[in-house]
Amino acid sequence: MDSAQRARAVKLRALHEESTLVLPNAWDAASAAIIARAGAAAIATTSGGVAWSAGRPDGHGLTRAEMATLVDRIVRVVDVPVTADIEGGYDDVAATVTAIVEAGAVGINLEDSTAPGGPLYDVPAQAERVRAARDAATAAGLPELWVNIRTDVFLFGIGEPEGRFDDVVARAKAYADAGADSLFVPGLIDLEVLATLVKESPLPVNVMVWPGAPTVAELEAVGVRRVSVGTAIAQSAYAVAERAAKELLAHGSYTALEGGLDFGAVNSAVTR
């Protein structure tokens, strides 16, 4: 195991202890380099954005090897810790974790849904998958790998509304026992519910935000320890591409291109 990778893994763990960790999500090497240049202490990939960058859809649209190659490119262009979104782990969680560690990442995000929209793995099955991830990381020489376990109970509206919170807590306890390090609950942004979840979950809580969601300061105030944005930054970048192309094609003008990063700034960010 590369000593620099081990050091980044230790750093990622420390960042979860110091304050609420804010993770802008990158989708390719250049976006990762720019996010690091903006001051991010660590970077998370977004499975959707990474897949789109290769011309594939989210939801295991990439093969394991293709995803690991793209993560490797991101890792190589930044000096900060990188945690990789491995979706559901593909068809073999252990093999996927091994590939991700070999690519240089020091954390993973692992979903408990079997497909977009659900259903979810039952608790014993997903706990076994968490154990497989932890064991694979140890076997690969990186026992410090951070395992952020995502539950899609709220995101996909799994089960009756009145039972969802208890389901998430039960999953958090089982996943913690299996070796997870943090709990990711996309779709949940209610501050009162989050405050209760923080108290009842044995794992630190990760929240996904978007325009209109509570601010990082508000989330930190109720005890949320990690905040990420999923595909939102990538979607915003693609929106600029669409607006600029439409304006250029329809009107022959270029105002949508105003405010772009300086060529030299982007070029230097990816120069190693």
How confident is the model over 110-150, as pLDDT tens digits? 999 998 888 999 999 999 999 999 999 999 999 999 999 99
Neighbours of 153 (CB within 10 A): 24
The pair of three-digit structure tokens given for residue 68, joined into one six-digit string: 């690991």
Of 95, 101, 43, 98, the C-alpha closest to 74 is 43
57-106 confidence digits (pLDDT tens): 999 999 999 999 999 999 999 999 999 999 999 989 999 999 999 999 99
Of 123, 111, 195, 194, the C-alpha closest to 150 is 111
* Residue 116 pLDDT: 86
Q: Where are the beta strands (DSSP E) in the chain?
A: 21-23, 25-26, 43-45, 82-85, 107-111, 146-150, 182-184, 205-208, 226-228
Domains for the chain: give ranges and CATH numbers.
Answer: 3-230 (3.20.20.60)
- Whole-angstrom distance, CA of residue 113 vs CA of residue 28: 25
- Specify the pTM: 0.95
